[in-house]
């Protein structure tokens, strides 16, 4: 299988294949400039993971929306459920980068966290 590594802007073109090594099934990756590419291609073959980023209305803030992300990558196939849960979440200012807005979002084991500071509205 061929993949484009998305873990950094370099975007290495990766080739991954399942091989038998010393009687064990493993995945052999080539084309990666750094070791992270091996992890990426292996995950793409087994369970592709993505970080989800979105934004949400925030109550009582000095701005309308707070941006959010999943604190860790989630399985790609779970993205629709994550987005659905994220859209229904509620956020209230003040918020700081890293504050959890939704714990264990869509049962992924990962929190949805704020990615910016939102101060409380003045007055």
Partner 1 sequence: MIRTLNTVIVGGGPAGLSAAVAAFDAGERSLLIVERDVHLGGILQQCIHNGFGLQWFKEELTGPEYAQRFIDQAEERQIESVTGTMVLEIRQDPQNAPYDKTVFCLSPSEGVLELRCRSVILSMGCRERVRGNLKTPGTRPVGIYSAGLAQRLVNLEGVMPGKKVVILGSGDIGLIMARRMTWEGAEVKMVCEIMPYSAGLARNIQQCLIDLNIPLHLSTTIVNIHGRDRLEGVTIARVDEKRNPIPGTEQYVECDTLLLSVGLLPENELSRALGVEMDPVTGGPRVDENRQTSIPGVYACGNVLHVHDIVDFVSKESTIAGKSAAAYNLQSQSGAEQVTLKAAGAVRYTVPQMASLEEPFSIFCRVAYPVSSGKFLVKAGDQVILEKKFIKAVPSEMEEIPVRKAELEKILSTGAGELTLETCLD
- Give the binding site for ligand SF4 (CB under 6 A): 5, 7-8, 10-12, 32-34, 36-37, 40
Interface residues for partner 1 in 16-55 (CB under 8 A)?
A: 50-55
- Enumerate long-range contacts of 67-72, CB under 8 Å, 24 or more apart: 67/114, 67/115, 67/116, 68/101, 68/112, 68/113, 68/114, 68/115, 69/112, 69/113, 69/115, 70/105, 70/108, 70/110, 70/111, 70/112, 70/113, 71/100, 71/110, 71/111, 71/112, 71/113, 72/110
Q: Is 11 left (phi over 0), alpha (psi -120 to 50) or beta?
A: left
Closer to partner 1 by Cβ: residue 13 or 18: 13
- Is residue 71 involved in binding partner 1 (CB under 8 A)? no
Name which of partner 1, ligand SF4, none residue 50 binds, using a CB cut-off of 5 to 8 Å depending on partner kind: partner 1
User: Does 3 contact partner 1 by CB under 8 A?
Assistant: yes
Does the protein bind partner 1 through residue 64 (CB under 8 A)?
yes
- Closer Cβ to ligand SF4, 33 or 57, answer by number: 33
Given the rule CB under 8 A, which residues bind partner 1? 3-9, 11, 13, 50-55, 57, 63-65, 67-69, 76, 79, 83, 97, 115-117
């Amino acid at each position: 299988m061929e993949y484009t590594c998305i873990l950094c802007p370099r975007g290495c073109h990766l080739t991954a294949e399942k091989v038998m090594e010393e009687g064990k099934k493993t995945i052999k990756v080539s084309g990666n400039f750094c070791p992270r590419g091996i992890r990426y291609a292996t995950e793409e073959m087994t369970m592709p993971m993505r970080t989800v980023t979105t934004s949400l209305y925030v109550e009582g803030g000095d701005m309308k929306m707070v941006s959010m992300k999943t604190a860790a990558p989630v399985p790609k196939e779970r993205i629709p459920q994550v987005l659905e849960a994220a859209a229904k979440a509620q956020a209230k200012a003040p918020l700081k980068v890293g504050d959890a807005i939704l714990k264990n979002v869509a049962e992924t084991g990962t929190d949805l966290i704020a990615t910016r500071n939102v101060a409380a509205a003045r007055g």
